[in-house]
C-alpha cells in the first residue's frame, strides 16, 4: 500500500486509478485529491472480478466479470489505497464497458457488487481508514 503513496500525490482529476483487493479490481476516475486529508474523491467506473477466484497478479486469461458502476455512488477514500491504472489494463476494459448490452447493465446488482467490494476493502485495509 505505501508504494502507491508517491503516485497518489500526482493524481489529477480525470485520471483513472485502480484499487485491487483479492480477486477484484476497482477502476475509478479521480474527481479531486484532498492532500490535506490524504484522501481521494473518486467516481467508480467498473469493477473487474476474476471468475476463477485467482489473485489479480495472475493473468486475466481465466475470464472475468465486468460490472458497470458509472451510475453508482462516489467514494472518498485514502490515497494510499490507489495506484495509477495502466493504459494497457483499462483501455480494452473501457471499450468492453461501453459496449455492454443493456440487459447486462443492472444498477441494483452493480450497486450490491460495489457495496460488497467496499466491505472487503474495509476488512482488508482497516488501518488505512483510521
> Cell digits for 63?
475470464
Is the pLDDT at 70 greater than 60? The verdict is: yes
Residue range 42-52: mean pLDDT, rounded: 91
pLDDT at 3 over 60: no
The average pLDDT across 100-104 equals 63
Measured CA to CA in angstroms, residue 35 lies from 15, 25, 74 at distances of: 16, 24, 18
Confidence of residue 27 (pLDDT cuts 50, 70, 90): very high
Q: What's the pTM? A: 0.83
Taking a C-beta distance cutoff of 8 angstroms, is the pair 37, 9 a contact?
no
Amino acid at each position: 500500500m505505501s508504494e502507491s503513496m508517491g503516485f497518489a500525490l500526482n493524481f489529477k482529476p480525470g485520471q483513472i486509478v485502480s484499487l485491487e483487493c483479492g480477486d477484484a479490481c476497482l477502476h475509478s476516475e479521480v474527481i479531486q485529491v484532498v492532500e490535506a486529508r490524504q484522501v481521494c474523491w473518486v467516481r467508480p467506473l467498473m469493477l473487474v472480478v476474476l471468475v476463477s477466484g485467482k489473485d489479480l497478479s495472475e493473468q486475466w486469461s481465466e475470464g472475468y466479470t465486468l460490472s458497470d458502476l458509472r451510475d453508482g455512488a462516489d467514494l472518498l477514500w485514502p490515497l494510499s489505497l490507489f495506484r495509477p491504472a495502466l493504459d494497457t489494463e483499462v483501455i480494452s476494459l473501457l471499450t468492453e464497458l461501453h459496449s455492454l448490452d443493456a440487459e447486462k447493465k443492472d444498477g441494483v446488482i452493480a450497486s450490491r457488487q460495489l457495496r460488497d467490494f467496499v466491505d472487503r476493502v474495509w476488512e482488508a485495509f482497516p488501518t488505512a481508514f483510521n
